Structure 1
Amino acid sequence: MTSCYIVDKSESSTKKLVGLISQIPELVLLNTHTDLERALKEITKAPSTTHILFVALDESNTSGKLANYDFYKEFVLVVVGSNDHFYKDAFELGAAGYLSKPIKNEDFTSAIEKCKARLISNLDKRHSSLGETVLKRGSFNSVKISLNQVLFIEMVDDETLWHMIFQDLERSPSSDLDEILKKLSPKGFVRINEAVIVNKFHINKFKGNKICLINGNWFEMEQRYVNEFYSSINII
């Protein structure tokens, strides 16, 4: 059964997308620009095997009016999952028009397939391994992502803010992590240093101030977070 989360204050507009997404298996649709807190809550409910279709709106002028669809000209697609590799590209669509009129399902899925095919072809030429891919478009920063993670992109004026909510871990500036951690369930997430929040269900083993995730990555806890970590593992 398809999982479909629509995260947007403009509920009436996004309802038009439900019919399109309902025919695409194991996808979650998120528009995090308008309500990041709700998006985080929805993401924590999604199974780790769920593919995430993230639709963001790329600002085409400097007004910074993020809630006004008229100021956006592109959708950016990010599709990642625990079983398959999908990659991100952007295709131009008038966002206001897209949300206000019916779009044929085949047109929507065709656009996604073209994006994936083009990116996979380009990545095959540049990377020996598809385990990690570099996402880069225009003025966006280059960001490496792997499986089991969700990428949030927020545009604020001319500045691009990246929020990488990993199912394995979270990397972000320290001040951002403080706010993000407040929105994450203490049953699933715990902070271990200034740059990393880990998903406790993805921890394979730990000893002292060392943590190993199920993907084999080791992390070192800062002393100030050690007691908090050992106390929190009993909350799982």
Structure 2
Amino acid sequence: MHRFKTLIIEDEPAIRKELEWMVTQKEELALTAVADSVAKALDLLAQTTPDLVLMDIQLEDGTAFDILHHHPSPAFRIIFITAYDHYAIRAIRYGALDYLLKPIDQQDFNGAIERLKKQEVAGLPGRLDIARQMAIPEKAVDMNAQICIAATDCLQMIRLADVMHLSGEGAYTKIFLQQGKRITASKPLKYYEELLPGENFIRPHQSYIVNRQYIDKYLKSGILVMRDQTEIPVATRRKEFIINCLTTLK
């Protein structure tokens, strides 16, 4: 059985110890080194060749992205470790990368390792680039930027500007793009509501999210008509919100 040589980068002693214990409990993982700073992590990465890096995002002397700046095309897989931070999580989700929230849950950790076994390193640099671009809180949303969608059979790269609307179907989401294209994503609609920029995407109904730029008109019967003539229902309790959004639409 292949064992993933594992490097832990974490500056909180309690979390670090917990990760060490979790790694040693998995037959498919082999703990090779531990770092508690950006400087030490860079040192270890220069000396070793891990298959997997459990990487804390916020370290005392920098961030995970400082480390990845020196490894723009990593041959190792990555699972980010983070306390909940809106911008960090959004950045990771944009790149469809895996992460664990502190405190680490054993079941979440096991799930991440199972996903790891199915994951390909190919395409990782591009996904990390997306995460880097989105990791800066002050950065204005670039609708020409790409987003990585975890589709049912692949990782699909699409432009934010090409997303017209999304439709939720239980644990899956259908994403409708320009020119009649569509993708079925293996994430629920709530995931995309948290991910997509609220200034550009609004949720008129529990089953739909729409790109404001593709709205053609609002019918008083409670229907949004998109430019491609798709009709999106507006929930009664959302009507005032939607009308307000449209009257301030620029």
Q: Which TM-score band applies after superposition, normalised by the shorter structure?
A: 0.3 to 0.5
Q: Which has the higher contact order (CA 8 A, sep 6+)?
A: 1
